[in-house]
Structure 1
Amino acid sequence: MKKTLLKVATSAAALTILLASPIQLTVLAQDEDIIATVGEQEITKEDFYQEMKAFYGNATLRTMLLETVLEQNVDNAEAILTGAQEEVNTQIEQAGGAEVFEQLLAYQQLGSVEDFTHQIYVSNMLQEVVAREVDTSDEAIQSYYDNEYAPTMEAQHILVETEDEAIAAIERINAGEEFDVVAQELSLDSSAANGGLLSPFTTGQMVPEFEEAVKSQAAGDVTQTPVQSQYGFHIIKTLNNGEKAPLDEIKEEVTNLYKESKFADSNFSYTIIGKLLEQANVQINDEDLKLAIQDLIDLANQPVEAEDTEETTEETPEEEVTEEEETESTEDAE
């Protein structure tokens, strides 16, 4: 994204206009300020600016402010930019050259190579800033492992229309035929060409019947009873049943997934950015653009945890007073 929409006049040009005669001013205004004409109607730079500001002003200013505050808070913005350029160059080589890579970018609507490089640059700056705020204590990792971590499952399957077809396929596999070969011949699923191999998946990504069958088997086992789902009948070979290994054996994997979950949490990232913007004391002088980053500032100031603490603190004294009053009332009655 371009850093600015309009070029600011140089001091020399401004001085020339100030010293020019009225006639010269008119000529200069026509040359420099009128960017298009429709018949006798003129469109000036000011018209253009106001139109752009009305439609894109907040978004453009927001982007500029976010990039600026990121650059001010990373250790070495220049090194990150160099890293982004190197990353794109590597991708260009892997794609088979600049021309092929540009076609890929166009197909995915990612803009030019320069645009794509800039996106990676900003993304990498954001990741560095967010990474500093991620709590990687043993307690935080344990909590993620207990409550959110879901190991991936892996499986091959053969999908057929009828139960009889499924039973016949199981018999062929039990007789010694390779699962991959039977899948390629019989399966109605698009994975057939790859021997029925599915991409790794986690809890909730497959229909319940399929997921339960994968979980109930050890690695290498094939279902001996066809598994029926809304799609037909499946024969499933479990490659990884998704059973959790002890945390101490997979702590590095869990920690990396935990960090990735934080990077993917836009609310977490936006809160951090909002705090940085607030600390930078950003001042927006154009009244029309005052709200460009207000939502981020508001998000940074949401006292969610503080409110919970205050409510607990306020309730406790009330309960204590009530107990004391009850004790006094009992004593008076005695």
Structure 2
Amino acid sequence: MHDFVRRLLIAPALAGAVTMLPAGLPALAQEDGVVATLNGEPITEADIAMAEADLDPQFGRLPEAQRRAAALSAVIDVRLFAAEAEKQSIDQSEDFQQRMEFLRERALHSAYIDQNVVQGITEEDLRARYEEEIAKIEPKEEVRARHILVETEEEAAEIIKQLDEGADFATIAGEKSTDGAAAQGGDLGSFTRGRMVPEFEEAAFALEPGTYSKEPVKTAFGWHVIKVEDKRMQEPPAFEQVENQIRSMLIRDRYLETVASLRGGAELDIPNEELKAAVDQMFRAQLGEPAADEGDAPQE
């Protein structure tokens, strides 16, 4: 899902410094929301919150005290560099002004999406989407299976003979299977119909739990001996399991609806026909619409 809240860069050197911090740092002193002062200017809790939100996701795994220290360190570095840049009048250059305007528009874009799209999604919306698209999914039969893959029919037949005599399936798979799952005793996990090649699927779903194929199964990969460990109906996931995914789906849909509405009411002129066609095609792809017909393409 798209991350609509764009992030500014934090000093790269910070990552190395944070790894040296002790895990048990005491809480930083706070006084009327002021965490620290730098050359007489306050650094507030709001500054820390914004910097912490912009840290690389890896910082989320750190203890809170270390995250706060990383955020404060970032604010200090940014302000010191900013002050030096102002002394050199870098902020007065045309390039800087253009960059600031872009960052301003990007921040407004993110704020608009947050206030008008993300915050507007309710639990009722989420549950309605769940009932509409997920709860009604028909249960699917799935099996959990193991297999042993060998090159010849004779090898597979010999393995079946060993299994008939009481040999352990997982042990033989580990010793003789040429498939990547051999290290896991041939375990393929659970799968529904349509996930495996037809010959393998037909044989696997015909078996009962705890049984193995009595005849070698041929596919394009070689010869298989298949054992089904379990067979059950795969029910739709519970709402709580997919709530975050549904939220992401709704955010994406509503974002695209908003973009389509805004673009539809805007006067957009792209003189370069090739670029215009590429932009149109990209936007149609975002909306999930088919590509324009050849007749719709710009004429040379």
**TM-score (ref. length: structure 2):** 0.49
Structure holding more strand per residue:
2
Q: Which has the higher helix share?
A: 1
Q: Larger radius of gyration, structure 1 or 2?
A: 1
